[in-house]
Structure 1
Amino acid sequence: MKLLLTSAGISNTSIHNALVDLLGKPVAEASALFVPTAIYAIPNGGDIVRRVIRGSLGDPFCELGWKSLGLLELTALPSIKQELWVPMLRQTDALLVGGGDCQYLCYWMQQSGLADLLPSLLRRTVYVGLSAGSMVMTRFGTTYNNHTLPAESDKSLGLVDFALHPHLDHEWFPKNSLDNIEKLAATLPMQSYAIDDQTAIKVIDGSIEVVSEGHWKLLRP
């Protein structure tokens, strides 16, 4: 399993180098699929999707110079035959999963069948998460409650055994102070990583590496 769990995308040279290392080749020689689903469950989601794809919002993610870039919308997948999208998914080098609402993303990963495919898929494909797209792979997820999903819906997939708290001390997220995150982490049964937008978590099978040009902290339960 190869994961690059970012707070805000490929925001600096160190994170870019970690991505290249996971891919085993330059970004310009790699194909990618972008999953925008989680973004639709937050205000102005449609416009944010457009801006992320064009590279006019936030740090580089879709606009990294990929050899090819496709779009994989999870809400559409249950209504089409798997042979139309599973082969494409298995052939791609990187799966780019955008941020937004973690619970909404987790629900559609499960409903679409993507969650069941991930363990085998990620033996080859690199999973690159951004914010909620990173958190959904961990044992802790959040929700904006801007949806009508069943209340008992999972908030994360738990494919890695830690919690992730992105956007540490970001001016847009005043609740994400280190003090607040430490209080939250103390209530969780697993260890947590608090990371700012210049930090990512690189995972290869069971090996975890923090890649950072910013600030982060490992928090014990």
Structure 2
Amino acid sequence: MKLLLTSAGISNPTIHQALVDLLGKPVSEANALFIPTAIYALPNGTDIARRVINGSLGDPFCELGWKSLGVLELTALLSVKQELWLPKLQETDALLVGGGDCQYLSYWMQQTGLADLLPSLLRKTVYVGLSAGSMVMTRFGTTYGHHTLPAESDKSLGLFDFALHPHLDHEWFPKNSLSNLEKLAATLPMPSYAIDDQTAIKVTGSTIEVVSEGNWKLFTP
């Protein structure tokens, strides 16, 4: 499996190079699909999704110079024949999964069958997560509660046995101070990575590597 779990996107040359290494070719030669689903469970989510796609919000992600970029909206897939979207998914070089609400994203990944497809899909395709799109692959997820999903819905897929806490010390997220995240990590039974927006987790098979031009810390239970 090949994954790049970012806090805020491809925010610096070190993270960009990690992406190129995983792809095995330049971004300009790679095709990508963007999943905005988690964003729609946020207030003003429709506008946030638009801004992430056109590159007017946050660090480069969709507007990174891909050879081609498509949008795969999970909430639409149950009403569309799988033969229309599955081949495109299987052919893509990079699956870009946006941030937002982990629980909402996890629910729709499971409902559409994408969660079951990921282990085989990621033998070739590179998974690139942003914030909640990264957290959902770990054993720890969060929710903002702006949805009507069953309360017992999984907040993450748990494919990896660690927790990821993005946006360390970000001004938009005052609760994400190092001291607060350390207290949160102490309540969890798995290792926790606290990463700022200049940091990402690179996963290649069973190898986990921190790539960073910023600040991060690993907490062990």
TM-score bin (small chain): over 0.9
Which residue pairs with 1:55 in the alignment? Answer: 55
Amino acid corresponding to residue 13 of structure 2 in structure 1: T
Where do 1:79-94 residues align within 5 Å?
79-94=79-94
Q: Report Cα offsets for 1:86-125 as digits up to 9, x if no partner.
A: 1000000000000000000000000111001000000000
Give the paired residue count. Answer: 221
Distance 1:62 1:189 in 2: 34
Residue 114 (structure 2) pairs with residue 110 (structure 1): no
Describe the SS at the equivalent of 1:70. Answer: strand
Distance 1:173 1:36 in 2: 21
Q: Report Cα offsets for 1:17-43 as digits up to 9, x if no partner.
A: 000000000000000000000000001
Distance 1:102 1:192 in 2: 16
Distance 2:151 2:43 in 1: 20
Percent identity over paired residues: 85
Which residue pairs with 1:74 in the alignment? Answer: 74
Which residue pairs with 1:33 in the alignment? Answer: 33
How far residue 126 of structure 1 moved from its aligned partner, in angstroms, is: 0.1
Residue 192 (structure 2) pairs with residue 195 (structure 1): no
Residue 10 (structure 2) pairs with residue 19 (structure 1): no
Distance 2:207 2:190 in 1: 16
Structure 1: gaps of 5 or more residues:
none
Distance 1:146 1:180 in 2: 24
Distance 2:77 2:116 in 1: 13
Describe the SS at the equivalent of 1:9. Answer: coil
Q: Report Cα offsets for 1:138-184 as digits up to 9, x if no partner.
A: 00000000000001000000111100000000000000000000000
Which residue pairs with 1:174 in the alignment? Answer: 174
Distance 1:208 1:46 in 2: 33
Distance 2:101 2:129 in 1: 13
Q: Which runs of 4+ in 1 moved over 2 A?
A: none
Distance 1:3 1:43 in 2: 28
Amino acid corresponding to residue 184 of structure 1 in structure 2: L
Where do 1:143-182 residues align within 5 Å?
143-182=143-182
How far residue 205 of structure 1 moved from its aligned partner, in angstroms, is: 1.1
TM-score, L = length of structure 1: 1.00
Amino acid corresponding to residue 217 of structure 2 in structure 1: K
Which residue pairs with 1:138 in the alignment? Answer: 138
Which residue pairs with 2:8 in the alignment? Answer: 8
Distance 1:214 1:108 in 2: 32
RMSD between superposed Cα atoms in Å: 0.4
Describe the SS at the equivalent of 1:60. Answer: coil
Amino acid corresponding to residue 114 of structure 2 in structure 1: L
